Amino acid sequence: MKKLLTSAAALAAMTTGAFAADEVTLQLKWVTQAQFGGYYVALEKGYYEEADLDVTIKPGGPDVAPVQVLLGGGADVMVDWMPSALAARENGAPVVNIAQPFKKSGMMLTCLKESGITGPDDFPNKTLGVWFYGNEYPFLSWMGKLGIPTDGSEGGVTVLKQGFNVDPLLQKQAACISTMTYNEYWQVIDAGISPEDLVTFKYEDQGVATLEDGLYVLEESLEDEAFKDKMARFVKASMEGWKYAAEHPEEAAEIVLEYDETGAQTMTHQVRMMTEVAKLIEGTDGALDAADYERTVASLLAGGSDPVITKEPVGAYTLDITDAALK
């Protein structure tokens, strides 16, 4: 099993006496899985080493807040969803997007057909499972767009604060739950519920999709030219990893499993996840597209509930890619 604390570049330096490569610590948004396959592939295939980087990948989890790790100096760069990054910036954390590998959203609501839900008009008076910790903003925006209250009142929906599992649907505590196309949806299927017994609503199809896994650093760090150069190399090597992972999903899944220290992941699930994630990164070179940024902001502000951001982007940083500051 691979150790995450020492990359191939560091091992090479130790054995050859070469000068140490530039160190980079990446904090993931969630646990080791194919959702982050491109970074593990870049590490394993030597793309970071070729870029003179010694990269450490730190898994996330339910008790890990990437923004706090970044603010505390525990990472140089983090993976986060744009709604939560915008909310963090609004609350005083000066985070800036330097790359956007995920072009599309994989978020959706997965509902039991037996609940009687066939379309959004059937949501009122139902219980819906929603992820929080910054993941709730797209949902709240969607409900605001539909004009559906989220306070549990008559004609509104009751919001169940969902853990990062599918139990509320399996135990029929909620008519619908939050799922990702590449993860929790398949957990529902693996639990024995057939696709024919489910109704799904992709945020992309509902016109309220927001940008997900992007790379963020602290704005002040970009005042250092050496740091900007290091991040440019990191982004470029990471995108090479993503390209390879998308083209070789089974090999990418095998690499992810080698770095999974929990032993909780399976080959079948990781191959399936990598195949679905490949659809989300299709057509991107890692640059943050201004139109995608504006769409995310518009989706969040169109809800009719309290806006989660009030600030507009006012500048751009240039690495090997174009990067818009969230300010």
Task: Read off the pLDDT band of 313 (50, 70, 90).
Answer: very low
DSSP state of 315: -
The answer for residues whose C-beta is within 8 angstroms of residue 202's C-beta and 6 or more apart is 105, 107, 108, 181, 209
d(CA 264, CA 59): 13
**What is the number of residues in the chain?**
327
Structure confidence at residue 323 (pLDDT): 41
Residue 161 has pLDDT above 90, yes or no: yes
Per cent of the chain over pLDDT 90 is 76
Residue 314 has pLDDT above 60, yes or no: no
Task: Read off the pLDDT band of 19 (50, 70, 90).
Answer: low
Could you give the strand order of the β-sheet that contains 127-130, starting from the edge strand earlier in sequence? 158-161, 127-130, 176-180, 107-112, 198-202
Average of pLDDT values for 17-25?
Answer: 79
Q: What is the mean pLDDT of the chain?
A: 87
Residue 321 has pLDDT above 50, yes or no: no
Per cent of the chain over pLDDT 70 is 86
pLDDT in tens, 85-101: 998 998 999 999 999 99
Average of pLDDT values for 306-311?
Answer: 37
pLDDT in tens, 129-156: 999 877 888 899 899 989 999 999 999 9
Average of pLDDT values for 303-324?
Answer: 38
d(CA 115, CA 126): 9
d(CA 68, CA 64): 8
This prediction has a pTM of: 0.86
pLDDT in tens, 63-87: 999 999 999 999 999 999 998 899 8
Residue 127 has pLDDT above 60, yes or no: yes
d(CA 39, CA 25): 11
